[in-house]
Every structure is written in structure tokens, then in C-alpha cells.
Structure 1
Amino acid sequence: MVSDTLTEVQAVEKTDAEAPTAPAAEAPKPAEAAKPAEAAPAEKPVPAEKPAPAEPATKAEKPKAAARPKSTAKKTRTVELTLTVTGTAEGEWQADLVHGTQRVVSGLVIPAIAVAKAAKELHEDIAEGIESVLEAARDQHRTRMEELEAELARVKAQLAELSE
């Protein structure tokens, strides 16, 4: 379409360039000089032809979207599910599931290992975030275990003194 318009403009420019120029105004003839100052018809400059508007697209050039038949398939229905997993520093995890506005599951206790596995399956960034929380919980449990082992050792020592 653009190349057609460009070709038409070039053709118009050629025609204007090749057109014979009007002869220079000649000196008035004696008979014409005697006439009163009658305005000679002034030659109007011929305006350059404007390129013709682009021709309407033929049937073959029309967008194919208009030619597509309507689809009989149903639109895909989306389902809104919201899963909220909450954890404590002690490593206790719970899950809540909401379907639309209806609560399906509330406060379901789930093991930390299940949360870690699910996070790895979902996305690496999610797994890293959850793993940092799990690691903090592990550290806390190790500390508590060491405290309990130290207390157990003291109780065993006290028991041994009483047995002697």
C-alpha cells in the first residue's frame, strides 16, 4: 500500500517535471495595446496533484480475524483458591484454605517437612524463604534440646549421689 502511494507520487512528480513550461509572456501586440487596461486572464498555477487515497483493501488483504468463525468452546472458568500457610518460630505449621469467600479448611496442622517439600515444588524463591524459617526453628529446637540434655545430666548425677 505504501509503495503504491509512493509510486503514484513519483509519477506525479515526473509528469510535472516533464510538462512543457508556458512560454514567457510576449510583448503585447499593437492591437492589444490599444485596448483599455483589461486584465488579462491570469494563469492560475496548476496545483500539484495529490496522491490518490489508498485503495480499499481487497478481500485477500483483509485481516484474517474477521474471517474466523466464532468459537463454540466455552470460556475457561477460573477457580480462586487461597492457601495460607502459617508457621511459628517453634516449627508448628498450619494451613487455611479458602475457595472464593468460603473457608474450606481452617487451622489444619501440617508437618514442617511437608511445608518444605511443597515450597520446593512451587518455586525456588518460596523454598528459600520457608527454609530460612525452618532453619531458625531447627536452631531453636537444638538449643532447647541441649538445655534439656544438660538438665537430664544434672538429674542423673543427683540420682547417682542418692543411690550411693
Structure 2
Amino acid sequence: MTAPTAEAASAPGDEEVPASTNGQGTEAPAAEEAAVEEKPKRATRTKSTAKKTRTVELTLTVTGSLDGAWQADLMHGTTRVVQGLTIPAAAVAKAAQELHPEIAEKIDEVITAAREQHESRLRELEAEMAKVKQALADLGEDA
């Protein structure tokens, strides 16, 4: 009796399949082979050495009208900090000059229009006052 050889001891389905085949004895398509061989590498995150800048969100809303009334509202994020604070037109003009010339120009236009409106109203009131004084003078003569 002879000893069985390694080839004879293996079962018919235990054959080694080359890595380039798809297990059925045929060549695997190139795309399958590439997908098996190349696994996506995990992206490693490196810590940034830059300092993280903390920002503070403040929103200042300045509202003016042609009659010269100015108000300020201040928001810190979504929280209202100040609401309807009355501020003088001169302070608004000065702050605008400090911020930027273009901002100052637009605010000056509004302040100038308000000034013209007030001057017009003053002339109307002076004319009315002159009429009232004349009416009083006329009443004084008759008495």
C-alpha cells in the first residue's frame, strides 16, 4: 500500500483559486479586481495649530425719520439688549463719520432733509405767529 499524496487527499472542491479569478475559474473583471485591492483609506484629521477666533454677534439698528427722531435697537445674537433708545441726531452724525464716509454721506442726507423740513415748519409757524400778533394788535386798538 502506498500513502496518499497531498493531491489525492484534497477534495475536488478544495482547490486553491488564484487571486485573479472570480472563484469560478474565469478571470475577474478589472473593475472588480481594483475594488477588491484598493480599499478607501480613512481620512485622518490633523489638528489645526491656528487659534480659533471667537466672534460676538451684535446688531445695532439705528432708525431715523424725516422729523428728526432717532432710535437705536441692539441685539446680542437673538436677544434684544436695547430697544427704542432715543438718541440725538448729532450723535448719529458723529458716529457715522467715525464708521465710514459712505455711511456718513447717506446719514447726512437724511439729517439735511429733516433739517429742511423743520426749517420749513418754523417759517410756517413764524408766519402764523405774525398773523396772531397782528390780530392781537388789532384787538388792542379797538378796546
1:84 matches 2:47:
no
The aligned residue for residue 41 of structure 1 is none
Written as runs of structure 1 = structure 2, the 5 A alignment for 1:12-51 is none
Identical aligned residues as a percent: 71
1:117 matches 2:94:
yes
1:128 matches 2:112:
no
Residues of 2 paired with 1:147 and 1:81: CA distance? 43
The aligned residue for residue 105 of structure 1 is 82
The aligned residue for residue 6 of structure 1 is none
The aligned residue for residue 24 of structure 2 is none
- Kindly provide the amino acid, as one letter, of the partner of residue 92 in structure 1: A
Written as runs of structure 1 = structure 2, the 5 A alignment for 1:49-88 is 75-88=52-65
Residues of 1 paired with 2:117 and 2:76: CA distance? 35
Residues of 2 paired with 1:99 and 1:117: CA distance? 23
Residues of 2 paired with 1:106 and 1:119: CA distance? 20
Whichever of the two has the greater Rg, that structure is 1
Which sections of structure 2, spanning at least 5 residues, go unmatched?
A: 1-46
Counterpart of 2:114 (choices 116, 126, 137) is: 137
Residues of 1 paired with 2:93 and 2:132: CA distance? 37
Residues of 2 paired with 1:102 and 1:132: CA distance? 31
> Could you report, residue by residue, the CA deviation over 1:74-113 in whole angstroms, capped at 9, with x for unpaired residues?
5221100000000111010000000001000001110100
Deviation at residue 140 of structure 1 after TM alignment: 0.3
Residues of 1 paired with 2:49 and 2:105: CA distance? 44
Residues of 2 paired with 1:110 and 1:89: CA distance? 14
The aligned residue for residue 96 of structure 1 is 73
Q: C-alpha root-mean-square deviation of aligned residues, in Å?
A: 1.6
SS in 1 for 2:52: coil
The aligned residue for residue 30 of structure 2 is none
- Stretches (4+) displaced over 4 A: 70-74
> Could you report, residue by residue, the CA deviation over 1:51-90 in whole angstroms, capped at 9, with x for unpaired residues?
xxxxxxxxxxxxxxxxxxx888852211000000001110
